[in-house]
Amino acid sequence: MKLEQTFTHFLLRHQEEHGRSYNFLLLMEAVMTAAKYIQHYYHTGSLKNLLGATGDTNVQGERVMTMDAVANEIVLHYLRQSHQVVHAVSEEEREPVLMNPAGRYYVYFDPLDGSSNIRHNLPVGFLFAVAKCNLKGDEDHHLRPGREFRAAGIFLIPTGVFTLALADAGVWRSSMDETMTWVRPERLILPEDRADWELSFNSSNRRTFSERVQGWLDRQEPQHAFRYMGALAGDFHRLLTNGGMFLYPAIVNHPDPKKNRPQGKLRLLYEAAVVAFLAHEAGGAAVDEQGRDILDLTPTDPHQRTALYVGSREMVEDMRACLRG
């Protein structure tokens, strides 16, 4: 019989060793419980008719799938119950949700990332990030740059793998066992060996990218494998293991100019900054279309979008130089 270290125990030790409060553990207990319930509903979704659309559109004007709404409800419930959260910012809620004014954290989340995979039961994700209140002075401020996150993570669903980055303490990946407990935390560092590096982007958008980005791809693409799952959670998940770069550039050359997206598609707070924080803690980097560090961008709107280039530091720096011409 081989008994494993649980991820919760690992977190407890980490908080103790760093002289930190247990509040973060109460919050993580809520986040991990929510992830288990999302996983459960996703597993059984096709039998319960949960894998279709609700008929509504969200703040982004996108079709809301039943699972988007179910996952959002689950996360809000457990965050509220934890009593640790001041505001929660969800992809599915127009305004930040006020939970407990005396709480300690701001939580940003995409309850279900990769909606186009839902009806195929293919991998989706639950992305989240945590910032801490300024316990001493006045502040609003749920609109924080990723640099101020204390943690960020991805649950890959239904795969059951959980990856968590802790501020200044690295990235840790853990797998779900048969009792739905996350066990065997292992540290992840982006590999330096270029042999495994991959490129991940929606290739059908390629001719809509700026000439600079298209030129970069023409030069780099022959040297790397190409992988695209259509869910940032899944695509970034494999990138963290193999290295390379995930990109969702600004769309600036669409044949129908109304379909250009100069701001990019992905949302800064609960998508781009989450993976940027994970990449940074694993030794990598992330920049936007202007070559600015994603972690330095302070959002002015909870649902602000950004272009995203994230992955192995050397490759992202090469792209940054190209973007800045």
Nearer to Mn ion among residue 63 and residue 141 (C-beta):
63
Residue closest to Mn ion, measured at CB: 113
CA 7 to mean position of chain CA atoms: 19
End-to-end CA distance of the chain: 58
* Candidates 77-85, 113-121, 206-214, 279-287; binding stretch for ligand AHG (CB under 6 A): 113-121
> CB of 110: closest distance to ligand AHG in angstroms?
5
3-state secondary structure of 281: helix
The footprint of ligand AHG on this chain (CB under 6 A) covers a number of residues equal to 12
13/18 Cα distance (integer angstroms): 8
The residue from 202, 214, 220, 263 that contacts ligand AHG (CB under 6 A) is 202
Which of 96, 113, 157, 282 is in the footprint of ligand AHG by CB under 6 A? 113
Phi–psi pair at 243, nearest 5 degrees: 85, 170
| Among Mn ion, ligand AHG, none, partner that 158 touches (CB below 5 to 8 angstroms by kind) | none
Q: How far is the CB of 149 from Mn ion (least distance, A)?
A: 17
Residue 93 CB-half CA count within 13 A: 20
- Collapsed DSSP state (helix, strand, coil) of residue 16: helix
DSSP for 171-208 reads: EEEEEE-TTS-EEEEEEE-----GGG-EEE--GGGGGG
How near is the Cβ of 313 to ligand AHG at its closest, in Å? 21
Q: How far is the CB of 273 from Mn ion (least distance, A)?
A: 12
Question: Rule CB under 6 A: which residues touch ligand AHG?
Answer: 62, 91, 110, 113-116, 202, 230-232, 265
Question: Rule CB under 5 A: which residues touch Mn ion?
Answer: 91, 110, 112-113
